[in-house]
Amino acid sequence: MRAITRIVSAAAAAALALTLTACSSSDDKTSDDPKPAGTGQATPADDKPADDDKGSAGSLSAENFYEVLAASVKEGTSYRLSMSTSAAGTESTSEGEVVISDAGPAMSMTTTAAGVEMAIVMVDDAYYMNMGDLTQNKFMKIDLNDPSNPLGASMGSFKDLSDPSKSLEMFKDSVTSVEKVGEEDVEGTSATHYVVTLDSSAVGDALAGVDPSAMPSLPAEFTYDFWVDGDNRPVKMTSEVMGATTEIVYSDWNDSSISVEAPSADQISDLDFSELMGAATQG
């Protein structure tokens, strides 16, 4: 039972980590722009002209960190990432692709946690997990809008954070200092390294819509290391908060070959989450 819980928690954490850069052009949409219906496939949005030079290259500071990073990422349409996390005795590694469109972010990821390899897809307000034998070697579908689904209900805050208007708000008023470390090479990409310190009480205010039980007590402040490219887009991020460490490396920004598709009907398991947890309890 505990192993299953750790696995599911790691999968949820992976989804949450992706929201850091899930900032698209929804703020530019007018009331005459209807939200497209879900198609089960996400492809990069058309190239979007920059509103101004807020996302152009230049030194970051506590005063402009949120504004510059949000503006730079806003011009992104897709990227690839690799991630490693360690928390509560569980280590996980992930490789994934993310598409940013007017409908919101979508992602496809392979994650290994607690010795189990998972395939994860999030698109059109649905979260799919293939956990091998545990899910009949198919994808278990979780409707993020279904409050009766235990996992869907607990992940409601993750869905909210994937809203482009909310994804970077934790940095909006919480950055207390930004220290430039210098120029470094990150897997072949020239990047500028910054150390960013956040006031955790301000972060809590930014995440007011999150269920308090989903966010443990935080220290007075915590620190992220950010590496950004010449366009101030994230190249790498590392953090260590309350014993949980995370490293994410971003690459292939705006690669038009990246797409995310929902699993086909014959790939969907009829096993629901309660059955999965019941099987874990019996095991």
Q: Residue 264 is part of a domain; what is its CATH number?
A: 2.50.20.20
How many alpha carbons fall within 13 Å on the CB side of residue 195? Answer: 7
pTM: 0.73
CB 177 within 8 A of CB 64: no
**Count of structural domains, the chain:** 1
Q: Does residue 137 lie within any of the structural domains?
A: yes
Alpha helices in the chain (DSSP H): 2-18, 65-74, 150-154, 156-161, 200-206, 273-282
Q: Is residue 35 part of a domain?
A: no
Residue 155 lies in a domain: yes
Residue 40 lies in a domain: no
In a domain, 48, yes or no: no
Q: Is residue 50 part of a domain?
A: no
Q: Residue 74 belongs to what domain range?
A: 2-26+56-282
Tens-place pLDDT, residues 72-89: 877 778 889 899 988 888
Residues 6+ apart with CB under 8 A from 111: 10, 11, 14, 92, 93, 94, 117, 118, 119, 120
Each residue's pLDDT tens digit, 151-202: 666 665 555 544 444 556 778 888 999 999 999 999 999 999 999 998 877 7
> Is 69 among the domain residues?
yes
CA distance 172 to 167: 10
- Residue 45 counted as domain residue: no
